[in-house]
A = this chain, B = another copy of it.
Amino acid sequence: MARENALGLSRNDYKGRKSTLCPGCGHDSISNQIISTAYDLGLEQHKLIKLSGIGCSSKTPAYFLGRSHGFNALHGRMPSVATGALLGNRELKAVAVSGDGDTGSIGMGQFKHVIRRNVPFVYIIENNGVYGLTKGQFSATADEGQELKYYGRNDLPPIDLALEAIIAGATFVARSFSGDAKQVQSLLQAAIAHKGTAILDIISPCVTFNNNDASTKSYSYGKEHEIPLHEIQVLAPDYVEGKEEITVGDYEEGEIIEVDMHDGTVVRLKKLDRDHDPRNRLQAISVLEQAQREELFLTGLVYYEEPRPTVQENENIVSEALATLPSSALRPSADQLAEVMASFQ
């Protein structure tokens, strides 16, 4: 018998349609991590929506969470669609997928502003440094000086989308590698618990157009150069014992950072080679700035901040889903209309 999660569902029940991406595409790994995470957490799929822009990456929502409503929107415009959907129904959680072209080029404005509004959702950038679906043009995250078969040399410096996110006011920013399944899953788990825009910039190799060893977006480069900032463990809200156990016993002072998420989830970061406290904004910026300058592939939870009010909180809307309010809540009374009319007389 297939294994089941708390809802009595198998991992298969969290899958979508068959992927039509190239075999080996990094994006498919990420879809798999989303499936695993949702399965492990026992998420109710009807309370989730999946959103995306346009690109190979943006096709993937069709390939995971088959029981969730999905919207494959327009190129670069997923953030606004997500904003509207989550205002229309704030009871939903959203997992959104974008590409580096989708976010870094045509979508830059919406990316910045969705973060600024703190729309609470998981925003995954499947970052491969190229436009996959249109066959391999440089994207805005491509390495400076890189050469591609058809498009020659890239003369422009790469945009660092994680850094852009922090500057824009993001309260959860992580970088990862689609080849690092465990880290991706941990980060996804934390991102889902986050009450705000959670940006995951995941390097996700395009095996067809940008998998040359020299590219910092290739599998081989990722495998060889990934430097995790820390080891991540995510403890679900109810996971109490384990928490005490480990904190007390195994680690010395300063070796562990615990980030308490809004819903009780705890993200435990175990120190590796570097000291990085993701709760310090300037440190997060510096570490990314340094990574950019020295071409270091640092991964992990780069920045975390106690979330600002979400867009729904700022809008001060009722706590239920607007979309399913009864008709009575939708139309003021005839008396109220009469009163308004009188004021215009």
Closest-by-CB residue of B relative to A313 is B155
Residues of chain A from 137 to 168 with CB closer than 8 A to chain B in the complex: 140, 155-157, 159-160, 163-164, 167-168
Interface stretch (choices A107-115, A185-193, A259-267): A107-115
A195 to chain B, nearest CB (A): 15
What are 28 residue pairs bridging A and B, where the CB atoms are less than 8 Å apart in the complex? Answer: A105-B109, A105-B113, A106-B109, A107-B109, A108-B109, A108-B112, A108-B113, A109-B109, A112-B159, A116-B140, A116-B156, A116-B157, A117-B156, A155-B309, A155-B314, A156-B314, A157-B169, A157-B308, A159-B168, A159-B169, A163-B167, A167-B167, A281-B289, A282-B286, A282-B289, A285-B285, A285-B289, A286-B286
Question: Residues of A at under 8 Å CB distance from B?
Answer: 105-109, 112-113, 116-117, 140, 155-157, 159-160, 163-164, 167-169, 281-282, 285-286, 289, 308-309, 314
Query: In the complex, how many angstroms separate the beta carbon of A131 from the nearest chain B beta carbon?
Result: 15
Q: Which residues on the B side are within 8 Å of A156 (C-beta)?
A: 116-117, 314
**How far is A164 from B285 in the complex, measured between Cα atoms in Å?**
12
Q: Which residues of B are found within 8 Å of A169, using beta-carbon distances? A: 157, 159
Distance in angstroms between the alpha carbons of A289 and B106 in the assembled complex: 27
When chains A and B are docked, how far (Å) is the Cα of A285 from the Cα of B169?
Answer: 15
Ranked nearest first, the 9 interchain pairs of A and B with the lowest CB-CB distance are A108-B109, A155-B314, A109-B109, A157-B169, A108-B112, A167-B167, A116-B156, A282-B289, A163-B167
Report Cα–Cα, A109/B285, bound state, in Å.
21
Excluding A116-B159, A160-B167, 11 further A-B contacts by CB distance (< 8 Å) are: A105-B109, A105-B113, A112-B159, A116-B157, A117-B156, A155-B314, A157-B169, A159-B168, A163-B167, A281-B289, A285-B289
